[in-house]
Structure 1
């Protein structure tokens, strides 16, 4: 849950993806081309910079390696089924706009880009890396609170400027956001629909890492609107993250390994598995716990498994498979 201090000595060699020297050469060409396009299009064209981009294996060289010689590229490895990713991604996207060109956020869906997932040695998601001048730096793993994310980004930007001479091109974040929205909607920027202030406050508490406040805020929303699906999922995420935040991962995993029949230890380890992106491990652990136990202990494991199903999403194939496994051990 805590981001690691950024260390320049921890740079990952991306030669297996593409040689940095070749990327830098191509970046110089791309930089000249963009400068010409900006000059031809005037100030608005220069400002219409995408600060948040979706990247896949085909576009990685262009959007990450080449771009990293001009501006630090922060990579957010995520997946649709990952509950903690849904907490972290809005923070990262908002900070990309706020930092206004000091870094570019590249979002990589691990389910669709397994090669990149493996190349970076990602152990679990969400996982955040940076690429500067063709070199990758591991930043942190897990849904870190915003103040700590800011601290890591500040360290990254300072290192990019001092060690690599890579600085971003300042842009107008409002114009950049409008340009991205207009492109996504065919040139039409739609107004944001009115939202529920109480739900917005709950989301804000979750984004800020105030997990206790988020739990209370979501519970307040559900007290007034028990059918609010967004609040229910948000509450589940906040509760999961609060449970994990209170754990020592090494101690919890050691306890689970040494005491397979200790339901509380298995519940803790399953939470860690899910937050780390090891969805099938979390589900398999709890199905096995249900199979080995009875009475209140079995029910506790079953209920926790159903809660994790909700966080991942009922349509995810891993949930479907685990539901079948659960049914077999129950009946």
Structure 2
């Protein structure tokens, strides 16, 4: 490598460059390992020196852990989006999740990189947003929404899950989380009966 003035690097600069060669940031792997050991701690962000988890990027390999398992602790608002057509919704949901301080988690899925997830949610358009609680879809909408409407929608999701997930306020400690009411499923079961 040539430097300005064609001065060769000093011995200490060569040593530093050699020690950093191939260096990789492994903090993401550490966070994933901690989440697998204790999803409740990861969802609430009560691990040593960490704040609450408010945003996760999800792909097909991490979907089960980051969405299904985490949704037994707190609601997970899954945003199906495309990086080819970014929207303001991603930024707005991220800031609302951060403002909520871990009461719910914003999970971002790029449908171009993870088409199987979009197919599983039967998404017809992007962006599509789905609230997941106790491993099941609870509510959803398509397209951009104004901030006030988003706040109301999230408040309704939090109200529907209050005390039913082990990481939400009012939840009873221990035991299995209660099943979240699914009004559409209940109506369908009533119709079949």
**TM-score, with structure 2 as normaliser:** 0.62
C-alpha deviations, 1:147-202, integer Å up to 9, x for none?
0000000000010115x345448xxxxxxxxxxxxxxxxxxxxxxxxxxxxxxxxx
The answer to whether the 8 A contact 2:71-2:132 is kept is yes
In structure 2, C-alpha distance between the alignment counterparts of 1:95 and 1:88, rounded to whole Å: 10
In structure 1, C-alpha distance between the alignment counterparts of 2:142 and 2:104, rounded to whole Å: 19
Does the alignment pair 1:115 with 2:142?
A: no
The answer to whether the 8 A contact 1:51-1:97 is kept is yes
Distance 1:87 1:161, change over 3 A: same
Corresponding residue number in structure 2 for 1:99? 100
Residue 33 of structure 1 deviates from its aligned partner by: 6.7
Secondary structure in structure 1 of the residue aligned to 2:113: coil
Unaligned runs of 5+ in 1: 1-26, 170-331
Corresponding residue number in structure 1 for 2:61? 58
CA RMSD of aligned residues (A): 2.5
Does the alignment pair 1:30 with 2:38?
A: yes
In structure 2, C-alpha distance between the alignment counterparts of 1:64 and 1:149, rounded to whole Å: 20
Residue 29 of structure 1 deviates from its aligned partner by: 5.8
Residue 70 of structure 1 deviates from its aligned partner by: 0.5
Distance 1:98 1:32, change over 3 A: closer
Higher helix share: 1
The answer to whether the 8 A contact 2:77-2:130 is kept is yes
The answer to whether the 8 A contact 2:72-2:166 is kept is yes
The answer to whether the 8 A contact 1:133-1:166 is kept is no
The answer to whether the 8 A contact 2:77-2:107 is kept is yes
C-alpha deviations, 1:62-113, integer Å up to 9, x for none?
111110110100001100222xx41211111110111111100000000011
Higher strand share: 2
**Which aligned pairs between 1:1-331 and structure 2 lie closer than 5 A?**
30-31=38-39, 38=46, 41=48, 44-45=49-50, 47=51, 49-82=52-85, 85-162=86-163, 164-168=164-168
**TM-score, with structure 1 as normaliser:** 0.37
